[in-house]
């Protein structure tokens, strides 16, 4: 059986980039801000009457073209990119550092690049220092020299809070890593104005559908 034809659609509006999530926006989960747990989640193909005004599709990728891990991780990153734009300020350039996923980080970043999100992998998990290669790539891709957003699939947050640019966001992925290190110290969070964004588990069917 083929994988379900879930697609990763990324659209651009005047407000910025948004990942198509297919949530209803009106059920109990959605109104509580938990769209990823939408009770009426629909696949993109099932949606009708969806407002398109002001939206321009910039990329469309068949998820079956990606391996399941890359697919789910990419979707999770795009979700948090969209969610943090309001707190860190929508900017045309938005550089993401993806920590962890040793065997998939490059492919995740490639997928993010395909949909217009600059991304740098740091596959080394739970490191106390950012690798020289990641620093070099950040220097060339981010005008501040630091990432605007760090998604840590290893659950790290204290180091991420130090590496992100001041006023940037971090998203430790607890449901992926299964464990997390303690949150960053209060003074680091406050003085560097770091945002810790919740990373939602995307509705993606990664196994073969029956």
Partner 1 sequence: MTQPRRAQVHAPGDVRVVAAPPPPPRGPADLWCRVRAVGVCGTDVAIAREGDAGLDQVPGHEIVAEVVDAPPDSWVAPGARVMIRPIRGCGACWYCRAGLIHQCDRSAELTISYGRPGGYADLLLVDAPTPDEVVAVADGVDDLDAVWAEPLAVALHAVRTAAGDGEALVVIGAGPLGLCAIAAARALGLRVTAIEPREPRRAAALGIGADRVIDPTTTTTPPRSHAVLTTVGSSAALAMAHQICAPGGVVVHAGLGHGATLPDTLGPVTTVGSFGYLPEEFLHSTALINSGKVRLSSLVTHEVRLADIGMALQLPVTDPAAVKVVVRP
Q: Which residues bind partner 1 (CB under 8 A)?
A: 32-34, 83-84, 86-87, 143-145, 165-167, 180, 182-198, 200
Name the DSSP class of 46. Answer: G
Task: Choose between 7 and 162: whose C-beta lies nearer to partner 1.
Answer: 162
Residue 110 C-beta-side C-alpha neighbours within 13 Å: 10
Task: Choose between 15 and 57: whose C-beta lies nearer to partner 1.
Answer: 15
- Whether 101 and 108 have beta carbons less than 8 Å apart is answered as yes
Structure tokens at 184: 């960053």
Q: Supply the minimum distance, in Å, between the C-beta of residue 174 and partner 1.
A: 9
User: For residue 114, how far is the Cα from the chain centroid?
Assistant: 14
Torsion angle of the four alpha carbons 142, 148, 151, 155, in this order, in degrees rounded to the nearest 10: 120
Q: Supply the minimum distance, in Å, between the C-beta of residue 162 and partner 1.
A: 13
Residue 168 CB neighbour total at 10 angstroms: 27
Task: Choose between 70 and 142: whose C-beta lies nearer to partner 1.
Answer: 142
Task: Choose between 126 and 166: whose C-beta lies nearer to partner 1.
Answer: 166
Helix (H, G, I), strand (E, B) or coil at 103: coil
Q: Supply the minimum distance, in Å, between the C-beta of residue 29 and partner 1.
A: 9
Q: Supply the minimum distance, in Å, between the C-beta of residue 167 and partner 1.
A: 6
Conformation bin of residue 185: beta by default, left when phi > 0, alpha when psi is -120 to 50: beta
Task: Choose between 66 and 85: whose C-beta lies nearer to partner 1.
Answer: 85
Q: Supply the minimum distance, in Å, between the C-beta of residue 16 and partner 1.
A: 16
């Amino acid at each position: 059986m083929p994988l379900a034809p879930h697609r990763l659609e990324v659209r651009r509006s005047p407000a910025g980039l948004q990942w198509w999530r297919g949530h209803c926006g009106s059920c109990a989960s959605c109104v509580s801000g938990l769209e990823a747990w939408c009770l009426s989640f629909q696949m993109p193909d099932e949606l009708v009457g969806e407002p398109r005004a002001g939206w321009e599709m910039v990329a469309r990728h068949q998820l079956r073209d990606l391996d399941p891990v890359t697919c789910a991780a990419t979707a999770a990153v795009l979700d948090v990119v969209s969610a943090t734009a309001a707190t860190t300020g929508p900017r045309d350039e938005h550089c993401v550092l993806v920590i962890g996923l040793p065997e998939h980080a490059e492919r995740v970043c490639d997928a993010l690049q395909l949909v217009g999100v600059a991304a740098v992998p740091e596959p080394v998990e739970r490191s106390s220092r950012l690798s020289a290669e990641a620093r070099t790539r950040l220097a060339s891709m981010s005008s501040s020299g630091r990432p605007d957003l760090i998604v840590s699939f290893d659950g790290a947050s204290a180091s991420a809070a130090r590496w992100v640019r001041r006023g940037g966001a971090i998203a430790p992925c607890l449901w992926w890593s299964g464990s997390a290190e303690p949150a960053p110290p209060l003074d680091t969070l406050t003085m560097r104005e770091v945002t810790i964004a919740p990373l939602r588990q995307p509705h993606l069917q990664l196994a073969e559908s029956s």
